[in-house]
Amino acid sequence: MRKTISLFILIMLFVCTACSSTTNTNQSNALNSGEYSAILPYESSDSRIKHASLISDTDARIRMEEGLMELSKDYFSPNEVAYKTQVFLTYDELDATDGSRGLLGTNRDDNPNGLNPSPDEGFDTGNGTVTGAVVLVDLYELDWYADDNLQGISIAMAVNDEITDEDGNLVEITQERMQNYLEVTAGHLVSYMRERFNEISSNVPIYIACFSLGSSEDSLGSYMYQGYFDGSQGEYSTLDLTWLNVPSTTFTEEQESVASQFTEYQQTMSTILVDYSYVVGQARIQEDQVNELKITITCHGKSASELLAIVQAARDELSVFSSTECEYIVEVLSDDGTYALISRPVSSTESTVLVR
């Protein structure tokens, strides 16, 4: 019996060691298993100013970075690395305003590292040639460390899927032409970073995922293409990770069953109180599967009893959603702000009120 207990303890110690093998100085603890830990003290890069000026929607920036973290797990294990951000692609590296020589500028004689098409050459969209095209909007960077040593880099390339021509018309970039641009641009970016920074040797793998900001009202953006560079050569493949507004025409067409369930939930919740409650959502879809649905209920409760009633209904009515492969998160807003958060995790039919 004693030998069995000792063996069990040894196994548990091995498992715990394997699950927490990252040993960076002052590393925080991840919120949940399978998530990345931050390295503390957290050092904010001055590139955050550039990000905010280029993409004003905070939710879009958070979506893009969370998506990059999720996609990076296929290449950099959360059990083996922790993260810093924008260690190399600082404000000065990115900025191209007023003729600066930043990566986000156009490729020209006095800015040979610019990643946007040259203003002197037309950009072939697949639907016509456009001069002065701005395809690349921003670059987000996550840096992976173990034992305080750089182990890899992940970069999100935020791009426009439509560009404006000389007559002010929007021209859509075809998938083929976009992939061609992204492969060439990703290769240039990797070469630049390896030559520019001594710490980024050929032994440091670089993962690049391309995020389309989305041009339709239904879309909240999508990751569409990726490249992984281990050394100088890149391996490319398509991605299918999309965020959509709910309800929307596109969501109903692509996810008929979930859209129908959402409509039923929406109709029930909108009539709980005398004053109409607004119910909207955002869905994350990967490989044609809704794996996260965030719902926001905006109500006008006048008393604690009214607010309690709508929170109880919001929790109980989540049973209308049949899929257990999706995480459901409901935020109940009153006139004074967030009143409650409700969660139903993956593989569960039970919903929990987290905050009230």
**pLDDT tens-digit profile of 49-59?**
999 999 999 99
Bond preceding residue 117 cis, omega within 30 of 0: no
Which domains can be identified in the chain, with CATH numbers?
38-241 (3.10.570.10), 247-355 (3.30.300.190)
pLDDT at position 24 is: 87
Report the alpha-carbon distance of residue 206 to residue 337 in Å, rounded.
41
How would residue 19 be classed by pLDDT, with cut points 50, 70 and 90? very low
Taking only Cα atoms into account, the Rg of the chain, rounded to an integer number of angstroms, comes to 23
Tens digits of residue pLDDT in 204-219? 999 999 999 977 889 9
Which is higher by pLDDT, 320 or 302? 320
The Cβ of residue 287 has, within 10 Å, a number of other Cβ atoms equal to 8
Which residues have C-beta within 8 Å of that of residue 135, sequence separation ≥ 6?
116, 117, 123, 159, 160, 163, 173, 181
Neighbours of 337 (CB within 10 A): 6
- Percent share of the chain, pLDDT over 70: 93
Beta carbons of 30 and 174 less than 8 angstroms apart: no
Closest listed residue to residue 237, CA positions, set 224, 254, 250, 221: 224
Q: Please name the residues in contact with 205: beta carbons below 8 A apart, sequence gap of 6 or more.
A: 75, 152, 153, 228, 229, 230
Is the model's pLDDT at 166 over the cut of 90? no
% residues pLDDT > 90 (the chain): 76
Per-residue pLDDT at 268: 97
Q: State pLDDT tens for residues 185-207.
A: 999 999 999 999 999 999 999 99
pTM: 0.89
Confidence (pLDDT) at 21? 61
Q: What is the β-pairing status of strands 352-355 and 337-344?
A: antiparallel
What token pair was written down for 236?
């490319």
User: In this predicted structure, what is the pLDDT of residue 285?
Assistant: 97
324-335 pLDDT, tens digit per residue, is: 999 999 999 998
Q: Please determine, for residue 2, whether its predicted confidence score (pLDDT) is greater than 90.
A: no
pLDDT of 283 above 70? yes
pLDDT tens per residue across span 90-114: 999 999 887 678 999 999 888 899 9
Distances (CA, A) of 342 to 322, 335, 347: 17, 18, 16
Residue 345 to residue 105: CA distance in whole angstroms:
43
DSSP string for 311-327: HHHHHHGGGG---SSSE
Asked whether the predicted pLDDT for residue 10 surpasses 60, the reply is no
> What does pLDDT average to over the chain?
90
